[in-house]
């Protein structure tokens, strides 16, 4: 057991003292206004009841000031001995610390410095903090400590509270936009018998009751399309997904994404939809379409251009993927140019599509600032996407890329079950040869497709990634409330 600090010992002693007259952890408290609401009330509004955590306190002889906080705001409270009574005031001075929760009832007024304040005529103790908060001027600044102790980070840092309010507003606006267009929000399985829905390395678990190895959901895609087969033409899901791959400033293994599908659309329809959707959401949240990221300004307004894989790789690496159009040719050219790809799988084991993708990510993506739609993906990189009618070696697919990050991925869906079966068999062959990111064969999905599918286009967007972009956060963990961290030695 760890050794307690002097402050922690004192706070535990206060809990025992509080127990002599009241319950230090009461079951409820009646609130009439949030702290934010109370801070906008007219002066002389009476019988206002608020509650929150004390983050500042100045105790004096017969009058004290404290500040209560929650995610939405702060409110100053004045505590006077002649209003709450001598006994309660002495209890307050002796037992209440910064970090504790209290409730207060009283009248709103404005101090001579212009600060809205609740003049308390009653205070109620609502919970003791056994650990002290960090020193107020420095707060919690170390990034790793912020990730591990997000609850303290949220208490102390306004910037953190602001980031997560933006995240919550973004998801709310996203739902509103799609709901207003008649989309149904559905849920799909997290545990799957097949690692399907995207090209990625899965997490494997074991289902004891069924004695079956299962995969954590890579993406909800194939089940979303099953829903369209079932007769739901517009569906979306905000889904927790899991990919057992590398971790960096823009990637986490468990993340939140939205996938959305509409019957009778093609990929170009969805490119228009996504542009309108994101511009609407960003305007509603920020009141502007100009995003500031460090010293960079990104304009999200106007029509976003389309650029092909071939154009970008030719521009930044001088490699024409229409000339180097096989795995062997492209691999040899990459090695001749001494380009090191950031792949956990040895590049000699990657299929052609993954080679193209990693090459683009290495040489071209870091140069992209303003929004573009990346198009014309190789068919082997898109086993669930529809082949282009005129150029069957590429797919009708797009990715929205902003500031060097892929924000949205979408395509016209493959709805031919025989072609889908052929492609998944190719993926299974690649997996057998060592490409861990290739997909499994999924005959249950093929079975569903054989009942018939309309034309469909779908897209997926990483919620964490888009919020990271909109908040100018350096690390994706900055916008994930409780990111997974390597455990510390509890001793």
Nearest CA among 322, 352, 358, 359 for reference residue 426: 352
| Residue 347 confidence (pLDDT) | 85
* Confidence check: pLDDT of 491 > 60: no
Question: How many other CB atoms are found less than 10 A from the CB of residue 39?
Answer: 19
- Are 163 and 479 in contact, with CB atoms under 8 Å apart? yes
86-140 pLDDT, tens digit per residue, is 999 999 999 999 999 999 999 999 999 999 999 999 999 999 999 999 876 566 7
More confident of the two residues 405 and 344 = 405
Whether 158-304+371-479 and 6-133 are alike in CATH topology: the answer is no
| Residue 176 confidence (pLDDT) | 98
Query: What are the distances in angstroms from CA 372 to CA 235, 303, 356, 361, 403?
Result: 25, 9, 18, 14, 10
Q: Which CATH class is domain 158-304+371-479?
A: alpha beta
| Residue 197 confidence (pLDDT) | 79
Question: How many other CB atoms are found less than 10 A from the CB of residue 328?
Answer: 9
Query: Over pLDDT 90: what percentage of the chain?
Result: 78
* Confidence check: pLDDT of 293 > 90: no
* Confidence check: pLDDT of 220 > 90: yes
| Residue 423 confidence (pLDDT) | 86
| Residue 133 confidence (pLDDT) | 93
Counting Cα atoms < 13 Å in the Cβ hemisphere of 82 gives 0
* Confidence check: pLDDT of 236 > 80: yes
| Residue 138 confidence (pLDDT) | 64
18-43 pLDDT, tens digit per residue, is 999 999 999 999 999 999 999 999 99
- Are 394 and 382 in contact, with CB atoms under 8 Å apart? no
Q: Which CATH class is domain 6-133?
A: mainly beta
CA distance 107 to 121: 8
| Residue 441 confidence (pLDDT) | 85
| Residue 196 confidence (pLDDT) | 81
* Confidence check: pLDDT of 273 > 80: yes
Mean pLDDT of 459-463: 96
54-66 pLDDT, tens digit per residue, is 999 999 889 999 9
- Bridge partners of residue 387, in order along the sequence: 395
- Are 441 and 485 in contact, with CB atoms under 8 Å apart? no
Q: What is the mean pLDDT of the chain?
A: 93
Mean pLDDT of 212-220: 95
CA distance 391 to 377: 11
398-454 pLDDT, tens digit per residue, is 999 999 889 999 999 999 999 999 988 988 888 888 877 777 788 999 999 999 999
Q: Give 378's DSSP letter.
A: B
Mean pLDDT of 260-276: 97
Scanning 287-326, the segments in alpha helix (DSSP H) are 309-317
86-95 vs 6-18: helix crossing angle, rounded to 10: 150
What global pTM score does this model have? 0.90
Domain ranges within the chain, ordered by starting residue: 6-133, 158-304+371-479
| Residue 431 confidence (pLDDT) | 80
| Cα torsion angle, 115, 116, 120, 123, sign | negative
CA distance 277 to 79: 49
């Amino acid at each position: 057991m760890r050794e307690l600090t002097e402050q922690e010992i004192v706070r535990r002693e206060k809990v025992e003292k509080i127990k002599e007259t009241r319950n230090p952890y009461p079951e409820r408290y009646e609130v009439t206004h949030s702290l934010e609401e109370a801070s906008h009330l007219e002066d002389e509004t009476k019988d206002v009841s608020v509650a929150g955590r004390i983050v500042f306190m100045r105790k004096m002889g017969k009058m004290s000031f404290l500040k209560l906080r929650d995610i939405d705001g702060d409110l100053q409270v004045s505590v006077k001995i002649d209003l709450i009574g001598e006994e309660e005031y002495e209890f307050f001075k002796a037992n209440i610390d910064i970090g504790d929760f209290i409730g207060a009832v009283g009248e709103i007024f404005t101090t001579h410095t212009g600060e809205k304040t609740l003049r308390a005529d009653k205070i109620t103790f609502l919970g003791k903090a056994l650990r002290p908060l960090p020193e107020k001027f420095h707060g919690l600044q170390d990034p790793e400590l912020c990730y591990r102790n997000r609850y303290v980070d949220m208490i102390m840092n306004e910037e953190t509270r602001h980031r997560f309010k933006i995240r919550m507003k973004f998801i709310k606006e996203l739902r509103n936009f799609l709901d207003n267009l008649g989309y149904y929000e559905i849920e799909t399985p997290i545990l799957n018998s097949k690692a399907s829905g995207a090209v990625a390395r899965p997490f494997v678990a074991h289902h004891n009751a069924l004695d079956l190895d299962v995969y954590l959901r890579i993406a909800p895609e194939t089940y979303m399309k099953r829903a369209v087969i079932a007769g739901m033409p517009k569906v979306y899901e905000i889904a927790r997904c899991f990919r057992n791959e590398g971790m960096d400033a823009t990637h986490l293994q468990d993340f939140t994404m939205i996938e959305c599908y509409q019957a009778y659309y093609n990929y170009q329809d969805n490119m228009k939809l996504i542009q309108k959707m994101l511009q609407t959401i960003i305007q509603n949240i920020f009141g502007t379409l100009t995003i500031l990221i460090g010293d960079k300004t990104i304009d999200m307004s106007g029509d976003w251009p389309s650029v092909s894989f071939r154009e970008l790789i030719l521009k930044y690496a001088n490699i024409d993927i229409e000339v180097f159009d096989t795995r062997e040719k492209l691999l040899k050219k990459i090695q001749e140019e001494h380009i090191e790809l950031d792949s956990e799988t040895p590049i000699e084991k990657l299929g052609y599509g993954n080679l193209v993708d990693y090459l683009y990510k290495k040489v071209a993506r870091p140069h992209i600032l303003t929004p573009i739609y990346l198009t014309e993906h190789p068919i082997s990189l898109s086993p669930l996407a529809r082949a282009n009618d005129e150029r069957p070696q590429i797919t009708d697919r797009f990715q929205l890329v902003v500031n060097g990050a892929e924000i949205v991925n979408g395509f016209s869906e493959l709805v031919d079950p025989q072609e889908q079966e052929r492609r998944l068999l190719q993926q299974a062959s690649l997996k057998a040869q060592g490409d861990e990111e290739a997909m499994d064969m999924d005959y249950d999905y093929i079975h569903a497709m054989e009942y018939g599918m309309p034309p469909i286009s779908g897209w997926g967007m990483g919620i964490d990634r888009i919020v990271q972009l909109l908040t100018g956060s350096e690390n994706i963990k900055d916008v994930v409330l409780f990111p997974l961290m390597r455990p510390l030695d509890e001793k």
